[in-house]
Structure 1
Amino acid sequence: MHIPSPEELRSRRETLGLRQTEVAKRAGISQSMVARIEAGSVDPRVSTLNKIILVLNNAEPKKIAAGQIMHTPVLSVSPQASITQAVDIFEKNDVSQLPVIERGVPVGCISESVIVKAIEQQRLHHSHPFVVKDFMEPGFPTVPPDMDVETVVNILQQNHAVLVVEGRQVRGVITKHDLITLII
């Protein structure tokens, strides 16, 4: 068992943004005892040291995982779905892009902007029944459910959404809106 030095205790307390009085109160000891322990002028009992270590461990910020903030069910379309079906889902759910999923596995995405561009370029006509795979783009990045939220935030800076995948199956989705909700 590693016994932290007085300098390590002080450094960890300061890193966590805790004051000596706060550590003392939570540990059930006096502030002066915490100060003397950190100064190295007293050798604390093991039980006292354990109380301080417990307080510092409990003050560690809790890691949030992707699986905790993802939402389900995941709105999606299959590659064989008609463009009309995709547009209906966009309108009914007030979304602008969807993952394209085939048998639970992500294979791409479709967005309103790609459909609008196809209309502008006159590639999309009512007379021809286009399907999603005709306009599919590369898919959203995927992460496992235990991926830390900090990594997800970094990925979302360059992407509209992140799919949470366990094995090869999509379990949930995280969007920038989910992160805003998490902060609020």
Structure 2
Amino acid sequence: MFFEIEEIKRKRKKLGITQKKLAELVGVSQPLIARIESGNLDPKLSLVRKIFEVLEELEGKSVNARSIMNSPVKFVTSSTTLREAIEIMMEDGISQMPVMDNGRVVGSITEGAVVRLILEKGVEASAIKVKECMEPPFPIISPDERLETISKMLLGSPALLVAEGDRIVGIITKHDVMKALKE
């Protein structure tokens, strides 16, 4: 079997794992992986074989939206009061959630929006309806979306919704992506 050393870095990045994580899985140090990837070390064939085995195993069970999403999705309606939305967010330890009316996503509510409204209106903000302070809906992705795409999308959004057909089946935040890399 022929191995292209240059493929290691490409495969690792495509899988969305760090050098440190790959090193742990292979049983070597992160600096060793860095030296191999940079071409500063000509590794033994047995080590290259082991690295490719680990990468191929990871490709087989690659991280996708379905594997890291939270389900069921907590949501509020546009007629929910801000007080009720805050209670749900605090009770469940969440920073954001979709706003849904009749099974359709119509917006989102985030900690940032809540804090801005409190700054603007003071304590009276708690009686305001979510529809008056909701932000645009979170992007919607398929359950099979890969970690790399999810990570890129989360740079511009606090969360992503996962849908199967017309049904919202999960939500993913930056925290979920970090947790996936840690595991």
- TM bin, normalised by shorter chain, reads 0.5 to 0.7
Q: Alignment partner for residue 179 of structure 2, among 147, 169, 181?
A: 181
Alignment of 1:137-156 (within 5 A): 137-156=135-154
The separation in 2 between residues aligned to 1:59 and 1:86, in whole angstroms, is 42
Alignment of 1:1-184 (within 5 A): 9-11=2-4, 15-16=7-8, 20-21=45-46, 58=56, 61-62=59-60, 63-122=62-121, 125=124, 129-184=127-182
The separation in 2 between residues aligned to 1:61 and 1:150, in whole angstroms, is 13
The separation in 2 between residues aligned to 1:119 and 1:58, in whole angstroms, is 50
- Identical columns (%): 31
Name the SS for the 1:76 alignment partner: coil
From the two aligned structures, give the one with the greater helix fraction: 2
Mean alpha-carbon deviation: is it higher for 109-118 or for 168-177? 109-118
Aligned length: 147
Mean alpha-carbon deviation: is it higher for 111-120 or for 91-100? 111-120
Identify if the C-alpha distance between structure 1 residues 112 and 14 changes in structure 2 by more than 3 Å, giving closer, same or farther: closer
Residues 83-108 of structure 1: CA deviation (Å, up to 9, x unaligned):
12101112212223221122333211
Alignment root-mean-square deviation, CA: 3.1
Give 1:172 shift.
Answer: 0.3
Paired residues of 1:118 and 1:124 also in contact (CA < 8 A): no
Mean alpha-carbon deviation: is it higher for 96-105 or for 131-140? 96-105
Give 1:20 shift.
Answer: 3.0
Structure with greater Cα Rg: 1
Q: Taking structure 1 as the reference length, what is the TM-score of the superposition?
A: 0.66
Q: After the TM superposition, which segments of 4 or more aligned residues of structure 1 sit over 6 Å from their partners?
A: none
